[in-house]
Each structure stands twice: as structure tokens, then as C-alpha cells.
Amino acid sequence: MATATGLRQDEKKTNAVTVKDAQDAQTAVAQALVVLKEFYAKAGDATALVQKQQPVAPEIFDSPYRGLQAENGGVVGMLEVIQSDFARLEVETKAAEETSQREYDGFMTDSKVDKAKKSTDIEHKTAKKQDENQAMTQKSADLDYGTKRPCEAL
């Protein structure tokens, strides 16, 4: 029981650290996503590369350059996957913690019942042993009394 309690406490500490790390990571990734989404939203409106000096834009520049907006899904998408992985890790760790705690509680209950039963058995067997020893002592005394001559016994 002591070993199981020590292992359970260690597991509980490890799970608590894992959950906290996952929550912190989710917060950090969420903040990074906000920054990136704001950046890409502003970058899409940027017109820094539009040439204003030419009276007529060359045919190759039919629209202003707005960056690689289609490519932002790669980084943002990757961060969203990472964020969902951390969320899943948190949920799975909490579920594992609850399961481990339930198993530990069941083990401790069974162990306490078993210990109480064995303690009771020890008490009963100790009392029976004392009774048997007392009976043996009495029978030995009776046997010694019967082997002595009557006048020696008195």
C-alpha cells in the first residue's frame, strides 16, 4: 500500500505538470495565431509594391502585390494543429489521471479490507494458540500428577 501510494503521488505530480505545460502551450500558440492572423490581414492590405510613378501599369502588374496570402495557411494551419495537439494532450492526461485515481482508490479499499480481515484472523489465531498452550500446560500438569505416587502428589 505504501509503494502504491508513493507511485500514485509521483504519477499525480507528473500528470499535473503535463496538464499545466499543455495549457501554457495552448495559450502561447493562441497568442501566436492572433499575431500571425493580424499580420496576414494587414499584409493583404499593403500596397508598398504598387508603382505609382508610371501613368499606366505594365501588363504584368494587373493587380497590386499583396504577399503570399495563400501560403499563410501553412504556418497558421500548422500552429492550429499544434494547438489542437496540446488540447488533446491535456484532455487525455486528465482522463488518464481520473482513471489512475479510480484504480488507486479501488486498490486501497480492497487492500484495507484485506488487511482488516488478516488482522482479525491473526487475533483469532493468537487467542486460539494461547488457549491451546494453556490446555497443553494443564494436561501436562495432570499427566505429571498422575505419574507421581499419591503421597508425593500431596
| Torsion angles phi and psi, residue 93, rounded to 5 | -70, -40
44-90 pLDDT, tens per residue? 666 555 545 555 555 665 565 555 555 556 788 889 899 999 999 99
pTM of the model: 0.57
What pLDDT is recorded for position 144?
78
Euclidean distance between CA atoms 84 and 89, whole angstroms: 8
Average pLDDT over residues 120-142: 93
How big is the CA angle at 92 (ends 6 and 106), to the nearest 5 degrees? 40
Chain centroid offset of residue 119 CA: 33
Euclidean distance between CA atoms 26 and 32, whole angstroms: 10
Euclidean distance between CA atoms 83 and 29, whole angstroms: 6
8-52 pLDDT, tens per residue? 999 999 999 999 999 999 999 999 999 988 887 787 666 555 545
